[in-house]
Structure 1
Amino acid sequence: MAQSPTIATWYGSPNGAGTNAGNCGYGGAVETSPFNKFIAAGGSSLFRGGEGCGTCYQVKCTSNPACSGNPVTITISDRCPECAPFQFDMSGTAFGAMALPGKADQLRSAGRLNVQYQRVQCNYHGFTITFTVDPGSNPFYFATNIEYEDGDGDLSKVEIQQANTNSFSPMQLSFGATWKFNDPSPSPLQAPFSLRLTNGSGKTVVASNVISVGWKPGQIFRSNVNFNN
């Protein structure tokens, strides 16, 4: 896959994860495995109105004496409104990881670098797709943040199946990596829910009965599926 030139900057604390309030809605998960702070806010052509959330890229620098020339892999977890369309505003951790040993602070002090990047397949090494119920969910409205999709990393379609039906209904992208379902019927939603996910390449997986009866806003549910399983 060909590499393309762009600009990389960094934000947040030098050894941090940028921010845990990113526009993809991953929250504090960016601090821990499998993200491990290796994230970036993307310009408009990377963030894509939230559809780029979860996509993975290799970024490397050779333009500064402190650059190692070795690529680092990052996940898009935030939006950078002031960035150029294909600019990466990386966490301090990821930006520093492009440096030679002992040169991370020197590289971060440059602030802005010419870099090469390419999109790559995501591989979260044993993590399965995870659903975090949105705080605004209630018995008649369900929304969930979706994380750790191997492969493309992004989703083109999400559908929900309630316990009392044999069919899947489309969910709508709410913001970032959060999808929502407004049930048109006057009855409460019937858990457990199964969720069918389609990625950007058209590959589909089903997390069967992944959201259990008695679910609560903020609750985390780990499926037993992923796109590379």
Structure 2
Amino acid sequence: MTKPLTLLLGALVMLLLLVSPIDCSRKLRKRRPHPIRHKPGHVAKGHKPSAPGARARAHRNHTATHSPAIYGSGRWLSGAGATYYGAPNGDGSDGGACGYQTAVGKQPFDSMIAAGSTLLYRGGEGCGACYEVKCTSNAACSGQPATILITDQSPGGLFPGEVAHFDMSGTAMGAMAKPGLADKLRAGGVLRIQYRRVPCKYTGVEIAFKVDQGANPFYFDVLIEFEDDDGDLSAVELMEAGSHTWTPMSHNWGAMWRLNNGRKLNAPFALRLTSDSGRVLIANNAIPAAWKPGKTYRSLVNYP
């Protein structure tokens, strides 16, 4: 009995191995890559959507790349959401994650600003981009477009079903309403809107360069604002006095660009700007020899 029993047990073991779910040749699941995370500087203090009933966004998307759903060919795009933050008729923030500070409430921005979700903010390189927005999803919507620009990063991810999100200033949100119904529109919670990328137009305003308070002869850091046309920049280069070479600057955060190559820089500086669509503009002697940290220098040029 012992030998037949042993043979039977051996056969059972072989059968179990054949049908076992353990399969050394099975395909391993691909690990999902971690999203690229960017440090955008600071998000405006206390920046939260003010729309009643607004809740935390469902997820975050930290990739800072161009998206066909956002950079269209001038046609209206759907699938975006909008809330507002700050005072009902206010500026929204003091500049937030782009570094524009109090400029958002002054000409030419005039409080018509928004904090953009990740694919709009683009790690800060979307700062200054202009969009037309309009809504028909609420009875208070006028259906007429209003022009806004990105000056901040929207906290959190997207609401379900959104491809992009605009956290607008109260002023910008109200601009989409029928006359006298701005407050009703702002009380409408999360709105569904249409949007499209448009050229920025700052009539009579030249590009400004605001030197950061922490800049010194060995570390140059500058905020660039009021660029016509694309409104945002993909590259900035600096040429020192007595040189014929353009040195690439690094994107710091928001609309800030820096250069620290380990040696004293020789001012005055010329700056060469490359816009989002690849257009190049040179501002000669943009920063004078006796430049000071915290001071703003106006150029004599802008994109045509």
TM normalised by structure 1 equals 0.96
Report the AA paired with residue 115 of structure 1. I
Counterpart of 1:93? 171
For the residue of structure 2 that corresponds to 1:184, the secondary structure is: coil
In angstroms, what is the RMSD of aligned CA positions? 1.0
Provide Cα deviations, 1:87-126, integer angstroms capped at 9, x if missing partner. 0000000001111111111111113211000010111111
Counterparts of 1:118 and 1:65, CA distance in 2: 22
CA shift, 1:189, in A, is 1.5
Whether the aligned pair in 2 keeps the contact of 1:60 and 1:117 (CA below 8 Å) is yes
**SS of alignment partner, residue 95 of structure 1:** helix
Given the alignment, which residue of 29, 35, 45 partners 2:103?
29
Q: Which amino acid aligns with 2:100?
A: Y
Indicate yes or no: 2:273 matched with 1:197.
Answer: yes
Alignment-derived partner of residue 75 in structure 2: 2
| Distance in 2 of aligned mates of 1:13 and 1:214 | 40
Matched residue SS, 1:110: coil
Partners of 2:91 and 2:261 in 1: how far apart? 36
Q: Which runs of 4+ in 1 moved over 3 A?
A: none
Bigger relative contact order, structure 1 or 2 (CA pairs below 8 A, ≥6 apart): 1
Aligned to 2:143: 69
Query: Which SS does the other structure have where 2:84 is aligned?
Result: strand
Q: Deviations over 1:148-174 (max 9, x none)?
A: 111111111100011131111000000
Asked if residue 182 in structure 1 is aligned to residue 260 in structure 2, the reply is yes
Cα distance in 2 between the residues matched to 1:122 and 1:87? 20
Higher strand share: 1
- Report if the CA contact (8 A) 2:95-2:103 is conserved: no
User: Secondary structure, in 3 states, of the residue corresponding to 2:300?
Assistant: coil
1:113 aligns with 2:186: no
- Among 223, 226, 233, the alignment partner of 1:148 is 226
On the 8 A contact 1:66/1:103 being kept in 2, the answer is yes
- Aligned residue in 1 for 2:213: 135
Tell me the residue number matched to 1:39: 113
Q: In structure 2, how many angstroms separate the alpha carbons of the residues matched to 1:4 and 1:97?
A: 19
The amino acid that maps onto 1:176 is G
Task: Return the TM-score normalized by structure 2.
Answer: 0.73
Deviations 1:38-77 (A, max 9, x none): 0000000100100110100000011111111111100100
| Alignment of 1:225 onto 2:298 | no
Residue 93 of structure 1 aligns with an amino acid whose one-letter code is T
1:16 aligns to what SS in structure 2? coil
Pairing partner for 2:130 from 56, 59, 62: 56
In the alignment, is the contact (CA less than 8 A) between 2:95 and 2:151 conserved in 1?
no
Alpha-carbon distance in 2 for matches of 1:224, 1:65? 45
Show structure 2 runs of 5+ residues with no match.
1-73
Give the Å deviation of 1:17. Answer: 1.1
Aligned residues with identical type, % of pairs: 54
Q: How far off its partner does 1:83 sit?
A: 3.9
SS of the equivalent of 1:116 reads: strand
Q: What is the DSSP-based 3-state SS (H/G/I as helix, E as strand, rest coil) of the residue aligned with 1:93?
A: helix
